[in-house]
Structure 1
Amino acid sequence: MAPVAAILFDKDGTLFDFAATWEAWARSFLLRATERDQDRAAYVGHQIGFDMASSRFQPDSIVIAGTPAEVAAALVPHLTHLSGDNILAMLNEEAEAAPQAEAVPLAPFLDRLRGLGLKLGVATNDAEAPALAHLGAAGVVDRFDFLAGFDSGYGAKPSPGQLIAFARAVGVHPENVAMVGDSTHDLIAGRAAGMRTVGVLTGMAGPADLGPYADVILPDIGHLPAWLGV
């Protein structure tokens, strides 16, 4: 099997625990968008697969793997006092302020990988600005050789555009890249790009969901060095 020379990470549910970040984001956004009308917030949340009472996402929520633009489009019929552009801007503003819980302590983990000579990147279906804000807040944005959001010009997962752009940017053949993610979108994109695919269980998907698309499933990214044999 081809050796791994570069690793491309999804962000939410992979570098950061999904629930800790996005459940708080959903509550904050829904209350803001509905002018703190609890009943209305609960109704609108239901439309995107989020339960306000339990602060939990449904496994098929569009938020889990969708782009902010897709979430905004789903919300337009239910937030008629706001335009699609206003909803998208609000989604991104709330995303930048969302709390982040690192899946593992990121700085030492990424330094270890870089010390092995690996090229590192991030491909997220979040927008680029919140992604930079989240990585900056964690103090690790400089550890990555590449970052792309859904709005960076390469498309969004499950299409492989971001992944192919990463491989080209770091000069590594796709078969020598590992795509690491918590959703089927991540792994389907990895397969389409001709990369190794690594599923992690720090998102909403379980082994049964990821299994058909993953070369290996790990509890979290902290297990990558052992999988790499280092």
Structure 2
Amino acid sequence: MQIAAILFDKDGTLFDFDASWGVWARGQLERLGAGDAALTGRLANAIGFDLALARFAPSSPVIAGTSEEVADYLLPHLAGQDRAALIADLNAAAEDVPLASPVDLTACLNGLRARGLRLGVATNDSEATAWSHLRQAGVETAFDFVAGYDSGFGAKPEPGPLLAFAREIGIAPAQVAMVGDSRHDLHAARAAGMRAVAVLSGPATHADLAPHADVVLPHIGALEHWLDAGT
């Protein structure tokens, strides 16, 4: 069945994961550690982050996790910290992350829209942060739908936000390609009955993603070639 719409994950897909989040994450961990190097190290270990390299491990729960899940990994090391306050703090801080895309994002999205494709975003980040990032990148008008973990449709790997996109634009799930950099994205695609397209602009490797994907691409810039090849 011909692809009529593409639903993107955000971090690691529209935006290169480590290039966008690495230095930012190190700064946030140091801020939460409040000058205590040992505490900062424990916080980094809790979320699978290498402070020296400013990189996330492929197995890091942050890669596909929600802000609530990340807070839960950090909380055991932050005595007296309120969970709701920490989640709000992480969400607010995330709106200022320096974004880096693996491709010319405007040109890529315009090329897909020129083909008549409908576009959306389903992220395990908050919806407010997603909109903030899309506006920073100047591409918010390219999308017909944006959902975060807090939009009321659930979070990946559950298929809820993917199926909500299909309903919103009136297209059968089988005509949608879900593009992402994690197993969560690919498992959600399978559960929703969509094409599962993996990209390597996040920490996960080809070997990690290939068993769960219909195709593995280097980045979203390769989508048009994939579409031309008949998917």
* TM-score normalized with structure 1 length: 0.97
> 1:180-229 CA distances to partner (integer Å, 9 max, x unpaired)?
00101000000000001110000011111111111111011001001111
**More displaced 10-residue stretch of structure 1: 75-84 or 132-141:** 75-84
Instruction: Return the letter of the residue paired with 2:145.
Output: F
| Alpha-carbon distance in 2 for matches of 1:129, 1:45 | 25
The answer on 1:99 being equivalent to 2:98 is: yes
CA contact (8 A) 1:146 1:169 kept: yes
State the match for 2:119 in structure 1.
120
Residue 144 of structure 2 is matched in structure 1 by 145
Letter in 2 for 1:104: V
Q: Which amino acid aligns with 1:188?
A: H
2:34 match:
35
Give the superposition deviation at 1:27.
1.1
Distance 2:48 2:8 in 1: 25
Pair 1:64-2:63 in alignment: yes
Q: Which amino acid aligns with 1:176?
A: Q
**Inter-partner Cα distance in structure 2 for 1:207 and 1:77:** 33
| Paired residue type of 2:86 | I
SS of 1:97's partner is coil
Asked if 1 retains the 8 angstrom alpha-carbon contact of 2:39 and 2:77, the reply is no
Contact 1:14 1:182 survives alignment (8 Å): yes
Map 1:212-223 to 2 at 5 A: 212-223=211-222
Tell me the residue number matched to 1:197.
196
Letter in 2 for 1:86: A
Q: What residue in structure 2 maps to residue 131 of structure 1?
A: 130
| Residue 136 of structure 1, CA deviation | 0.3
1:33-82 deviation digits (Å, cap 9, x = unpaired) = 12233332112111111121222212211101111100111111111131
Q: Is contact 2:110-2:142 (8 Å) kept?
A: yes
- Count, aligned residues: 229
Note if contact 1:8-1:123 (Cα within 8 Å) is conserved in structure 2. yes
Identity %: 56
| Aligned 8 A contact 1:155 1:161 in 2 | yes
Q: Which amino acid aligns with 2:153?
A: Y
The letter for the 2-side match of 1:114 is: R
Paired amino acid for 1:119: R
User: Which of structure 1's runs of 4+ aligned residues deviate more than 6 A?
Assistant: none
1:229 alignment partner AA = D
Structure 1 residue aligned with 2:226:
227
Unmatched segments (≥5 aa) in structure 2: none
The answer to whether the aligner puts 1:87 opposite 2:86 as a matched pair is: yes
Task: Flag structure 1 segments of 5+ consecutive residues without an equivalent.
Answer: none
**1:67-78, aligned counterparts within 5 Å?**
67-78=66-77
TM-score (norm 2): 0.96
